[in-house]
Amino acid sequence: MRPGMYIGRLGNGNNPGDGIYVLLKEIVDNSIDEFAMGFGKEIRITIRMNEVTVRDFGRGIPLDSVVKAVSILNTGGKFDDKVFKKSVGLNGVGTKAVNALSENFYVCSFRDGESSWARFERGELKESGKGETREKNGTLVTFTPDSMMFGEYAYNMDYVESMVKNYSYLKKGLTLNLNGTAYKSENGLLDLVNENLSDEPLYPPIHLEGEDIEIVLSHCNAYGENISSFVNGQNTRDGGTHLAAYREAIAKTLKEFFKKNYDPSDCRQGVVGAISIQIQEPNFEGQTKTKLGSNYMWEKQVHDESGALKTDIGPTIRSYVNDFVAKNLDNYLRIHKEIVPVIEDKIKASQQEREEISGIQKKTRERNKRTNVYNRKLRDCRFHYNDKVTEKTQENIENSSIFITEGDSASGTITKARNANYQAVFSLRGKPINCYKESRKKVAENEELNLLISALGVEDDLENLRYNNIIVATDADDDGMHIRMLVLTFFMKYYPDLIRRGHVHILQTPLFRVRNKKENRYCYSPEEKEKAIAALKTGVEITRFKGLGEISSDEFVHFIGPDMRLDLVKLAEEESIADIMSFYMGDNTLERQNFIRANLRSEEELEDVNI
């Protein structure tokens, strides 16, 4: 009834956070936990026509518990931390949610020559049984996500492959077989960072391992930070307490090593790396487990000498990570002295640029305040009031959005149609500058982009981002496409982590309105338009929307509501930002000309679009 409580969102598979990937991950997580406890060295994953099969070679579900383990809440071995000390999920919900949200669900456990199986449809048990088997011990699960819940969906195998690769990096010695392709890592997080480096590191990545922690660290000549984070094998793409502690520890250790009070942002500028920690009973913010909320390495209820129940806690995650990095990174730098000047030169270069840019930005902001431009450009939401967050519920945090649009007409339409509780609007004036071709100093002097940075709240640190969703909303014409490219170029060059963390989106608005006297239909493509014409049959009127301002606010409210169509701006870890921007925004090379020719629309398509 309320799937969002358990899988975060439904979606159709276009976003890596969509529910169908959460369902897959819940099943694989159980197999990963078996491997972590020393049972089974291979997991086989098959996806065919939206049917998912996961086979592990762990101990298998106890034969008498197969049905209740996948259909009755709060059952399963994970509630005993003596059995699963550092598993991904301890809520006893995961497999049950997969069962409930699948139109078909089959589970079979193999243990010591015997098997027990059950088949469900939309969470309802249809049949079950037991028998003898020659299969190796383990568990087999096959499910198909429910089309009644997810609509027309499809697994993006790039997302699935990325998930499987991350599992292999974090569980050395484990083989994951995805549709016949095996993934296995011998060097853990070091393989992850080396294989995903998009820019040449300034020195070989530092790889340090402890009992419950593993880190990798290097610097490159790029803006921002690119640090992957994991907890108990779970990719926490939204970070949390462990990532915050690691970022703090990097700056603190480097400052103490060089005995200079460098700004933390200068120590981290251009950092690439990863952190993985193992903790007992992690507390994640939200069922999708993408952000760690725990403060301690472990926390549990124990009885004291008198028999009274008390809470026993381990070290804080902050202190644990800080102590590990301070000791081991300091030792590494003292041994590998050749990289020390490289790191300090990088810090000094960042410091010099930051101080120059900071002065320019300050003058620009002061000038804008005097002319009151800021208030005219940003129409904030009630979620932020005088920069103090109000109504800070999880739902409001996840929904908080800022639409970046161009011109008074479009911004006026969106402002009238938006949900003012958590949707803000920022209006650009004309086309922003091409950041790829301009110096950082020139960009800092640009009024439009400075105001945008202030509106987002990321002047000093991305952790201060004021909106979860940054939505580029431009007209569906040549100028609109060009503005979109210029805005994305700005983010990709100077704030790439906003893209890597999944904050940046493109708003899709209808190209056509097809209507007769009884019904309006909004179409996002020529194909949808033709279907609407055929369905409405007689007396059809077709309108082509070329600008957002042409759509009335009464109509627009439907396009930016809960079901609005957003295209996530994606950036694969291994993709080079410099190469992408050079190709699309650099000189008009023969290679780009050939790309344009190969992707030109036919005359028929152009006529169809430009009605």
| Encoded tokens for 84 | 């699963």
Q: Is 53 exposed, middle or buried (0-12, 13-18, 19+ CB in 10 A)?
A: middle
- For residues 227 and 271, what is the distance between their CA atoms, to the nearest angstrom? 7
Fold for domain 189-352?
Ribosomal Protein S5; domain 2 (3.30.230)
Among residues 286, 183, 305, which one has the least CA distance to residue 237? 286
CA dihedral 183, 186, 187, 191 (to 10 degrees): -30
Q: Give every CB contact of residue 90 below 8 A, 6+ residues apart in sequence.
A: 78, 79, 81, 84, 281, 282
- How do beta strands 423-428 and 401-406 pair? parallel
pLDDT of residue 79: 40
Cβ–Cβ under 8 Å, residues 510 and 523 = yes
- For residues 433 and 446, what is the distance between their CA atoms, to the nearest angstrom? 8
Q: pLDDT below 70 — which residues of the chain?
A: 4-5, 74-93, 286-289, 301-302, 361-376, 383-396, 572-576, 601-611
CA-based Rg of the chain, rounded to a whole angstrom?
A: 26
Helix (H) and strand (E) counts for the chain?
A: 23, 26
pLDDT of residue 576: 67
Report the SS3 class of residue 76: coil
- For residues 70 and 78, what is the distance between their CA atoms, to the nearest angstrom? 13
Among residues 237, 285, 242, which one has the least CA distance to residue 570? 237
- For residues 593 and 575, what is the distance between their CA atoms, to the nearest angstrom? 21
- For residues 583 and 580, what is the distance between their CA atoms, to the nearest angstrom? 5
**Cα dihedral sign, 401-402-403-404:** negative
Tell the residue number behind the tokens 């089309």, with chain if given: 147
Amino acid at 554: D
| Encoded tokens for 295 | 């403060």
| Encoded tokens for 578 | 């410099």
Among residues 63, 51, 60, which one has the least CA distance to residue 24? 51
Q: What residue segments make up the domains of the chain, in order of their start?
A: 4-183, 189-352
pLDDT of residue 389: 54
Tell me the pLDDT tens digit for each residue of 377-395.
888 887 665 455 555 555 6
Q: Which bin fits 30, alpha (ψ -120 to 50), beta or left (φ > 0)?
A: alpha
Cβ–Cβ under 8 Å, residues 270 and 350 = yes
pLDDT of residue 29: 87
- For residues 382 and 384, what is the distance between their CA atoms, to the nearest angstrom? 5
| Encoded tokens for 398 | 């996840």
**What is the DSSP code string of 303-338?**
E-TTS-EEEEE--BHHHHHHHHHHHHHHHHHHH-GG
| Encoded tokens for 24 | 């897959």
pLDDT of residue 368: 54
Tell the residue number behind the tokens 């005993």, with chain if given: 80
Amino acid at 71: S
The CATH number given to 4-183 is 3.30.565.10
pLDDT of residue 367: 58
Domain 189-352 in the same topology as domain 4-183: no
Tell me the pLDDT tens digit for each residue of 511-560.
888 988 888 888 888 888 999 998 888 888 998 887 787 788 888 888 88
Cβ–Cβ under 8 Å, residues 561 and 423 = no
Query: How far out from the chain centre does Cα 303 lie?
Result: 40
Among residues 232, 559, 240, 172, which one has the least CA distance to residue 403? 559
Q: Is 75 exposed, middle or buried (0-12, 13-18, 19+ CB in 10 A)?
A: middle
| Encoded tokens for 108 | 């079979």
- How do beta strands 42-48 and 51-56 pair? antiparallel
- What pairs with residue 506 in β-bridges? 472, 567
Rounded to 5 degrees, φ, ψ at 404 are -100, 115
- How do beta strands 102-111 and 175-178 pair? unpaired
Rounded to 5 degrees, φ, ψ at 111 are -145, 115
| Encoded tokens for 320 | 């644990």
| Encoded tokens for 575 | 């993709």
- How do beta strands 114-121 and 102-111 pair? antiparallel
Cβ–Cβ under 8 Å, residues 250 and 268 = yes
Q: Which bin fits 151, alpha (ψ -120 to 50), beta or left (φ > 0)?
A: left
